[in-house]
Amino acid sequence: QVQLVESGGGSVQAGGSLRLSCVVSGYTYSRACMGWFRQAPGKAREGVAVINSEGSTSYANAVTGRFTISKDYAENTLYLQMNSLKPEDTATYSCAMRSGYCRGRSLSEDDYNYWGQGTQVTVSS
């Protein structure tokens, strides 16, 4: 079956960096739309960054200029490079995939049908 497994979370001080990874298994089409989402305690899950089948990306305003989403198509692995981290970036980060080819760059969780279990990112001031 399809599995998405995240790694790379941890605890850092404000201004630091982390790189999240999401390995996809059980799904051979490596150009599916994929995205990173996060959920802080007591808050709704929000879209952070997405990459579509053509490699185009989109970011939430809160992370634009600090986060970079990328994909290793050969390894079917999604990445999120997070720089200049802020305490408000603290959340559980999950990767998600929308099966098949897509041109959209939706940050809505409703548009994704496979999810990872999440990895915790904690940023201290």
Cα dihedral 36/108/26/28 (nearest 10): -90
Confidence of residue 104 (pLDDT cuts 50, 70, 90): confident
* Mean pLDDT of all residues belonging to the chain: 96
CA–CA gap between residue 60 and residue 48 (Å, rounded):
5
Element containing residue 71 per DSSP (H, E):
strand 67-72
Is 87's pLDDT higher than 90? yes
Give pLDDT, residue 37: 98
Q: For residue 1, give both structure tokens.
A: 């079956």
Does the structure show a pLDDT above 90 at 47? yes
Beta strands at 3-7 and 18-25: parallel, antiparallel or unpaired: antiparallel
pLDDT tops 90 at residue 28? no
pLDDT at 46 over 90: yes
Mean pLDDT of 67-79: 96
* pLDDT value at 18 more than 90: yes
Q: Are 9 and 69 in contact (CB under 8 A)?
A: no
Instruction: Beginning with the edge strand found earlier in the chain, give each strand of the sheet holding 3-7 in spatial order.
Output: 3-7, 18-25, 77-82, 67-72
